[in-house]
Amino acid sequence: MTAWWYSENNKNIGPVEEDALVALLQSGKISHQTLLWREGYASWQPFAEIRELAFLKHVIPPSADLKPVAPPLIYTTAGRWQRYFARIFDLWLELLIVTFVSGYILGQVSSTFIEFVNNANAHLIGIIYLPFGLVLDAVLYHFFGNTPGKAILGIKVVKNIDLPLTSREYLKRNFSLWGSGLAFGLPLINLFTMSKQFGRLKKGEAASYDLAGDFAVKARPLAVWKWLLFTILFVSLFAVVLYLNFKEKEFQVRHSGVAANYHWINPVTNNRATINSIWGSSEKKNPEGQTFYMFTEQAQHAVIVFAVEEVPGITLEQYVQVFIHNASQNMQFWNGGTYDLKGVNQRWQGWGAMLDDKNNRFRVELIHNEDRVWRIVSIQSRPYEYSDAMVDKLKSELWKTAL
């Protein structure tokens, strides 16, 4: 017997045999207005207009056809510009998510990854991240039935008789798009491949990555407020992408040493230190009104606090006891520290972890010089080896201004 599909609440249900159609007609689930389709039909047709099913009309209860039937949403072939902007929006959003998540996770454990990101060309990073963005695109489709850009613009990807794609089919289509549509993200080459696909759509043909799976991209009529919403979101996302690209280039310039180093003058001794441009400096005061100087690494993997305190008549041992007592509110010291000499000056060093985040380790150096105690506290986040050399170099410059 012939297998049929029918539309219910904008969903395509089937296949069902003609015997099953009888039961559906008698129960009132389908009526004269219900759209039906079978293999060989070019489009969906109302039940009442299908001649080969005319013999079933008598089984419909008199009241069934009187039920109000909501007209189905009419999907037509999506326009090429509509598809383009939906795809660009989705890729920008997904690449931002992939970038931030991978940056947070790998940035905690791999100094090699951080160095690579700091020095790599933005195009190379985009090429590497693109397939992961397309995988995320398929994950969103799997859980939500669509991606953000397509959903807002009323677009859906379907196969043959407007059926939804399986997650595997959608992922396979994405990887076909990755090659034949996006040229694996390779600059200039992808302009050629996208132009070629754009031309196919302009001529009414399917994109090459839709042909193999008999896929189609459909769109429904869109309200004006949705166009406005998408425009606002698109422009906002574009602004975020531009800002992040600008900050990334600024970061790479500083990290590469192209940006000129700057001089910092110790206000107490008037001695000058040469500071690498990857460190930002600022003057602050603690709750007791004491001035300290903060140097923050641009990727915020390290912070150095430099300060001095006048302590006439106080030994370094006495000062250390008071310092540990006060600092223990925010710091967990691993031991009692060690005493030694730095040049001719007595020094104490202590180590530990910050209480608010045990992954942030600190090191304290206190040096007694005449009636002053100079203090440098360095705080580093994982991976520590990424900032070790930078921290040691800055501390060396700062000590030169003090001693």
One domain for residues 56 and 147: no
Note down the domain range covering 27: 4-66
Report yes or no on 71 lying in a domain.
Answer: no
**Residue 292 exposed, middle or buried by CB count within 10 Å (0-12, 13-18, 19+):** middle
One domain for residues 292 and 215: no
* Dihedral sign from CA coordinates of 277, 278, 282, 288: negative
Q: How many CB atoms lie within 10 A of CB 281?
A: 15
Position 154 scores a pLDDT of 92
Report the range of poorest mean pLDDT among 30-34, 205-209, 311-315, 336-340: 30-34
Provide long-range contacts, Cβ within 8 A and 24+ apart, for 288-295: 291/267, 293/264, 295/394
CA 265 to chain CA centroid, Å, is: 40
Instruction: Give the pLDDT band (50/70/90) at residue 29.
Output: confident
Q: Tell whether the model's pLDDT for residue 254 goes beyond 80.
A: no
Domain endpoint, select from 222, 239, 255? 255
Position 1 scores a pLDDT of 63
One domain for residues 109 and 17: no
Q: What is the domain count for the chain?
A: 3
Residue of higher predicted confidence among 63 and 177: 177
Report how far residue 306's alpha carbon sits from residue 399's, in angstroms, rounded to the nearest whole number: 9
Position 65 scores a pLDDT of 44
Report how far residue 238's alpha carbon sits from residue 246's, in angstroms, rounded to the nearest whole number: 12
**For 273-286, what is each residue's pLDDT tens digit?**
999 988 999 999 98
Instruction: Give the pLDDT band (50/70/90) at residue 31.
Output: confident
Position 139 scores a pLDDT of 96
Look at the pTM and tell me if it is higher than 0.75: no
One domain for residues 347 and 368: yes
Mean pLDDT on 253-282: 85
Partners of 331 in beta bridges: 354
One domain for residues 238 and 272: no
Report yes or no on 154 lying in a domain.
Answer: yes
Report yes or no on 32 lying in a domain.
Answer: yes
Q: Tell whether the model's pLDDT for residue 161 goes beyond 60.
A: yes
Report how far residue 17's alpha carbon sits from residue 26's, in angstroms, rounded to the nearest whole number: 15
**For 55-86, what is each residue's pLDDT tens digit?**
776 665 544 444 444 445 567 889 999 999 99
One domain for residues 191 and 235: yes
Report how far residue 117's alpha carbon sits from residue 368's, in angstroms, rounded to the nearest whole number: 41
Domain endpoint, select from 225, 240, 255? 255
One domain for residues 280 and 311: yes
Position 3 scores a pLDDT of 82
One domain for residues 193 and 333: no
Report how far residue 339's alpha carbon sits from residue 364's, in angstroms, rounded to the nearest whole number: 12
Residue of higher predicted confidence among 24 and 283: 283
Q: State whether residue 113 is helix, strand or coil.
A: helix
Report the range of poorest mean pLDDT among 5-14, 94-103, 251-260, 312-321: 251-260
Instruction: Give the pLDDT band (50/70/90) at residue 123.
Output: confident
Report yes or no on 171 lying in a domain.
Answer: yes
One domain for residues 337 and 243: no
Report yes or no on 124 lying in a domain.
Answer: yes
Domain endpoint, select from 224, 255, 286? 255
On average, the pLDDT of the chain sits at 88
